[in-house]
Structure 1
Amino acid sequence: MKSFYLIACFLLGEWVINPVCAQLIDSKATSETKALYHHLVSLSGKKIMFGHQDDLAYGVHWKYEDGRSDIKEVINDFPAVFGWDIGGIEHWHSNNLDSVPFDRMKKFIIEAYHKGAINTISWHTDNPVTGGNSWDTTRAVKEILPGGKYHSLFVSWLDRVATFLNSLETRDGVKIPILFRPFHELNGGWFWWGRPYCSPEEYKDLWKFTIEYLRDVRHIHQLIYVYNTNSFSNELEFTERYPGKELTDMLSLDIYQRAPLNASKEQLENSSRKFEKQLKENLKVVVQIAHQEHKLSALSETGFEAIPVKDWWTGVLYKTIKNFPISYVLVWRNHGFMEAKNKIHYFAPFKGQKSAGDFKKLYKKKRMLFLKATKKINLYQ
């Protein structure tokens, strides 16, 4: 039986996940979480869901208006994936690090679930050693592991995360499944859990403790755990901190296109070529490792601030990702005007934005899924 199972796992085409082999790491996962996971597996290689950070909370020219979404106002449909961040929950703050009130976020997450969409959560947690923010790179990982000086403090923070996650439930008591992406962009040097500030083994231990505490001690059984790096130079950089197939459900990548403010046409074209090359090279590694490990994959953060390329959605992004079996692609938030930087900060189109017409073309791509199509799938059944 075991030999048959192993052979079956490799009978499908390149990079496509075999449902026989893909299993959640939580054997006690809720029925809704299992259903979501198996739908994602079945869609792998066929469809790519589109996501947007904080989509229901605010847009470029509005904030906290029921039913609004910059995406919806362009295509008359919502994203299929809604991204949120719980940075600040560790202190029981009223608002997260981007000033979204947690009580509103809870309502948005429940709303997205009832719409038939997926919710994904990251955690820009503060530095537990200094009390500084996520970008305070004072070494902390070793100190919050079992036996460390700040371990008890970190456990208390995980308790608050667990309490919030458990509060995300319907009136009938159904716990809402979440794609949970903690300690993200782990190979970068900007967060205190980043590559320069802890060893590979320390990072793996942090991941292992976090997952096992939430799952086995706090009995959170509605999470799908997402391992995440920033763009990388080679396969070793992506895998050296990978905690193993027993502790992850999905492998993912964050990568953004960048160009100088008021870049020339030539600069934008060069930037696009560079981005496409890096994205394609990185996704090849991500989906290959995911295939080997029988895991899902995703482009969990991407975008081009202010989207200065008119056909960026189909001419750059879709062109590059369309042949990869990623579950979803999510672009970052539409903050609006940033007074400190005297600019409008956004990554998704809004009505009248120069790339809105091309985004409508992306919406019509058969491979892309937005909410109306996703709702018909009944992801949680």
Structure 2
Amino acid sequence: MQKTFIILIIAAFMGVAYSVKAKTTDTNLSLSDKKATKETVTLYKKLQQLTQKGYLFGHQDDLAYGVNWKYEPLRSDIKDVVGDYPAVYGWDIAGLEKDDVNNIDGVPFDKMKQYIKEANERGGISTISWHFDNPATGKNAWDNTPNSLKTILPGEKNHEKFISWLDKAANFFLSLKDKKGKNIPILFRPYHELTGGWFWWGKGNCTPEEFKAVWKFTFEYLQKKGVHNLIYVYNTSSFGSKEDFLTNYPGDDYADILSFDSYQNNEDKSGEKFITEVQSQLKIISEIGLAKNKLIAVAEAGYEAIPDAKWWTGTFSKAIGDYKISYALLWRNHGWQEKEQKMHYYAPYSGQVSEKDFVEFYNLDKTLFEKDIQKALKK
């Protein structure tokens, strides 16, 4: 009798535990866009599954150019080093609002579309940011003239201009189709690094209420235009608390991934400051992500020119630690900058001092590159 009673209690407990787990999983799989395409929902589920295996490695402009080369078919500095592509590809659509042929980094939009399609065919994932011009002054994104963002709100003088920009973005997103004519899912990271004051949408240049209003308008307007292939990424620069991170947060119904950007600089040659900051911020957003059932990511990171031969396994891996993040994206490999008279790159290339260490980093179980995606999902 006593044994039967105990078994019944255990069975009941397991049933409750299972139902809670199932409920949590169902909640996790809910995208903010309730009309998201089947492919977009599938990608979001994949991202969640992959988080249990490791984190996806990403690289900005990876297929377009690298150190000492540009627009060579199927080439990638990452592939040159490890024989595999990154799992995530970063792109930026600044310039689209002005009908430019090329984006802010000189990448032709036609080529960008092709690269996104090629990556998607291989199982790669693309994320898009938008360093768009200041709508109030006509200057670039770094013109942080106060109250510029306010002018694009409904009823304000630059609202119609802003709508025309969103129309162009919508057309671009809808033009991204696979061979079957299905819209390719994109991780969209608008108004990035919002806790910094260097962009016209950043801290100190608008109120939290104004920022939230613009984010929500962007989200709702793109859906109104039929764009349902976006996973929305909320992104900050450095922050010191949950409250700081969430000051401009538009709400759980308007964002899908929580992220931040962090870079090591030459004043921190040991990387100790970088490791401490990234760990601290990951702890904060991990707790927020768990509470809100949101994925988390390091949306931009790096150490310019990577002078540390053991940076990948010695610093970057330690910074990520054991946190379950969706992806970490390294910034672009521009190469030589004539104006600044220096090299500008964030991932290794053949012959670079950290090349061997990057191969070790690639071989870690928790780092997922393009070939790893399908393998990880099958396990």
Equivalent residue number for residue 371 of structure 2: 372
CA distance in 1, matches of 2:249, 2:261: 15
Say whether 1:55 aligns with 2:62.
yes
The residue aligned with 2:3 is none
Q: Deviation at 1:9?
A: 9.0
- Output the TM-score relative to the length of structure 1: 0.92
In structure 2, which of residues 26, 31, 34 is the aligned counterpart of residue 27 of structure 1?
A: 34
**Aligned pair partner of 1:219 in 208, 223, 226:** 226
Aligned CA distance change for structure 1 residues 352 and 96 (closer, same or farther; 3 Å): same
SS at match of 2:231: strand
Preserved contact between residue 279 and residue 321 of structure 2 (Cα < 8 Å):
no
User: Residues 131-146 of structure 1 correspond to what in structure 2 (within 5 A)?
Assistant: 131-138=138-145, 139-146=147-154
Query: Which residues of structure 2 form unaligned runs of 5+?
Result: 1-15
User: Structure 1 residue 141: deviation in Å?
Assistant: 1.2
**Number of residue pairs matched?**
361
Q: 1:305 is aligned with what amino acid? A: E
| Contact kept in structure 2, 1:19 and 1:42, CA below 8 Å | no
Residue 81 (structure 1) aligned with residue 99 (structure 2): no
TM-score of the pair, normalised by structure 2: 0.92
**Residue 268 of structure 1 aligns to which amino acid in structure 2?**
K
Equivalent pair of 1:251/1:290 in contact (CA under 8 Å): yes
Distance 2:35 2:361 in 1: 38
1:175 maps to which of 158, 176, 183? 183
Matched, 1:121 2:122: no
SS in 1 for 2:26: coil
- Indicate the RMSD between aligned Cα atoms, in angstroms: 1.8
1:172-230 superposed Cα distances (whole Å, 9 cap, x missing partner) = 21100000000000010100000110001111001000001001x10101000000000
Equivalent position of 1:263 in the other structure: none
The 5 Å alignment of 1:303-314 reads 303-314=302-313
1:268 aligns with 2:274: no
Q: Is the 8 A contact 1:8 1:20 kept in 2?
A: no
Q: CA deviation at 1:11?
A: 5.2
Structure 1 unmatched ranges of 5 or more: 1-5, 261-266
Task: Name the structure where helix makes up a greater proportion of residues.
Answer: 2
Alignment partner, residue 149 of structure 1: 157
Pair 1:44-2:51 in alignment: yes
Q: Which residue of 1 aligns with 2:200?
A: 192
Letter in 2 for 1:337: W
Within 2, Cα distance between the matches of 1:135 and 1:352?
A: 34
Q: Which amino acid aligns with 2:100?
A: H
Distance across 1 between alignment mates of 2:24 and 2:104: 39
Match of 2:235 among 211, 228, 235: 228
1:70 aligns with 2:77: yes
**Displacement of 1:98:** 0.5
Counterpart of 2:169, as a letter, is V
Q: State the structure with more CA Rg.
A: 2
Letter in 1 for 2:269: L
Identity of counterpart residues, as a percentage?
50
CA distance in 2, matches of 1:85, 1:375: 26
| Structure-2 separation of matches of 1:46 and 1:370 | 12
| Counterpart contact for 1:82–1:117, Cα < 8 Å | yes
1:264 alignment partner in structure 2: none
SS in structure 2 at match of 1:359: helix
Aligned to 2:319: 320
Are the structure 2 counterparts of residues 258 and 9 from structure 1 closer, same or farther at C-alpha, using a change threshold of 3 Å? farther
